[in-house]
Amino acid sequence: MNILTFDIEEWYIEKVLHGGREFKLRQYDEAFSKLLDELDRLNIKATFFCVGRLAAEFPQVVKTIAERGHEVGCHSNEHTWLTKMDEGTIRHDTAEAVKALQDVCGQSVTAYRAPAFSITERNKWALEVLTECGIESDSSIFPAARDFGGYPTFPQDTPCIIRHGGASLKEYPIGMTNIFGKKIAYSGGGYFRLLPYGLVTKTMGNRDYNICYFHLNDLIDQRIKMKSRQEYEEYFNEPGTLKNRLTRYIKSNIGTGDGYAKLVRLMGDVRFVSLREANGTIEWDKVNTIEL
């Protein structure tokens, strides 16, 4: 089973950080519509995790996703890492996002992905808060070390049921592979852009479960300008040293030139489904239950 997901926040982040520059918004519009046309052409349905603020500020994006037959999931309200919010704030953030997205798309929104996979060993209680807000499926667990998130001690990288407190959730962790003895992701973001196509498809072919994840920025041929110290500190909420800013800059730009072409090729070679479709085919009574 291969699941295709996108995390969608670009228009909103552009507005917050830069006031919504015309040429950037147009670039996102174009990449988005090209992607939707390609999905139609290949008859693929995907899950689009959207930030709640998009529903308020760029509702046509959320509406279009639903109208084209895709699943709308929740990617927090304002793209704030969950590691930076306390329990009450996460509850408020999620409830607001789910409501705003549902009102605009007309679907019930029950799938969630945290920005930057920011559910970790330390804030795993957040999963229980998500269920209180109507979330039934989650794809926020990145079972390896990672900037701003990651859950290296999570015991598996295939679908499972997570139990925490009184809550129970269907979890779709990100798949991992071993390269030179190091556990790394292969099916999305910078890893997908960086790794040779043949290695990605070979890894996917050897597994029964893969979940691919992209932001529009992964698929646009662009040079993202290095953030100023002030922009960096506002966005990442950590010191905007030259080293930190340079690391993010390199990670954001590596391989973006052919990201889209690579994804289109993959969509032609591999049969993809949305999370909603996967939910219906997984035998949930046969998967592991993990008590956190």
Residue nearest Zn ion (C-beta atom): 7
Q: Cβ closer to Zn ion: 93 or 292?
A: 93
The C-alpha atoms of residue 248 and residue 232 are separated, in whole angstroms, by 9
User: Which of 79, 69, 74, 75 lies closest to 102 in space, CA to CA?
Assistant: 74
The C-alpha atoms of residue 125 and residue 164 are separated, in whole angstroms, by 7
CB of 205 to Zn ion, least distance (A): 28
Q: Cβ closer to Zn ion: 113 or 276?
A: 113
CB of 181 to Zn ion, least distance (A): 29
The C-alpha atoms of residue 53 and residue 11 are separated, in whole angstroms, by 10
Residues found near Zn ion in the complex (CB under 5 A):
7, 9, 115
CB of 79 to Zn ion, least distance (A): 6
Bridge partners, 163 (sequence order): 168, 291
Q: Is 86 helix (H, G, I), strand (E, B) or coil?
A: coil
The C-alpha atoms of residue 213 and residue 139 are separated, in whole angstroms, by 10
User: Which of 234, 229, 124, 101 lies closest to 171 in space, CA to CA?
Assistant: 124
On whether the CB atoms of residues 117 and 79 are closer than 8 A, the answer is no
Q: Cβ closer to Zn ion: 111 or 292?
A: 111
Burial-class residue 35 by CB neighbours within 10 Å (0-12, 13-18, 19+). Answer: buried
CB of 63 to Zn ion, least distance (A): 20
Q: Cβ closer to Zn ion: 191 or 203?
A: 191
Q: Cβ closer to Zn ion: 7 or 218?
A: 7
CB of 115 to Zn ion, least distance (A): 5
